[in-house]
Amino acid sequence: MARVCSICGKGGNKANSIQRRGKAKKKGGVGRNITSVSRRKQRPNLKKVKAIVDGSPKRIKVCTQCLKSGRVERAY
């Protein structure tokens, strides 16, 4: 599977991108108005890493949280 962490299975997410017009009431305007809502994708921060999998080095896609937490044993 593409764009998925091999360790924790973290993948993409869908979210809304909201476009607004106007000045906030707090700053002296009449308020912010939503002009359009469009879908967008949030993708995980994946790195291609050479890691030891089942005793042999392999190249896998791993999210940066797994790398930082030490869940991956890297092969140099």
Per the prediction, the chain carries an average pLDDT of 94
pTM: 0.73
Q: What is the pLDDT of residues 34-50, one digit of tens each?
A: 999 999 999 999 999 99
Rg from Cα positions in the chain: 20
pLDDT value of position 1: 59
Q: What are the tokens at 15? A: 């979210």
Q: What is the pLDDT of residues 63-73, one digit of tens each?
A: 999 999 999 99
Q: How far is CA 66 from the centre of its chain?
A: 13
What is the CATH code for 13-69?
2.20.150.30
Cα 51 to Cα 65: distance, rounded to the nearest angstrom:
15
Token pair 């869908």: residue = 14
Q: Are 73 and 52 in contact (CB under 8 A)?
A: yes
Q: What are the extents of the domains in the chain?
A: 13-69
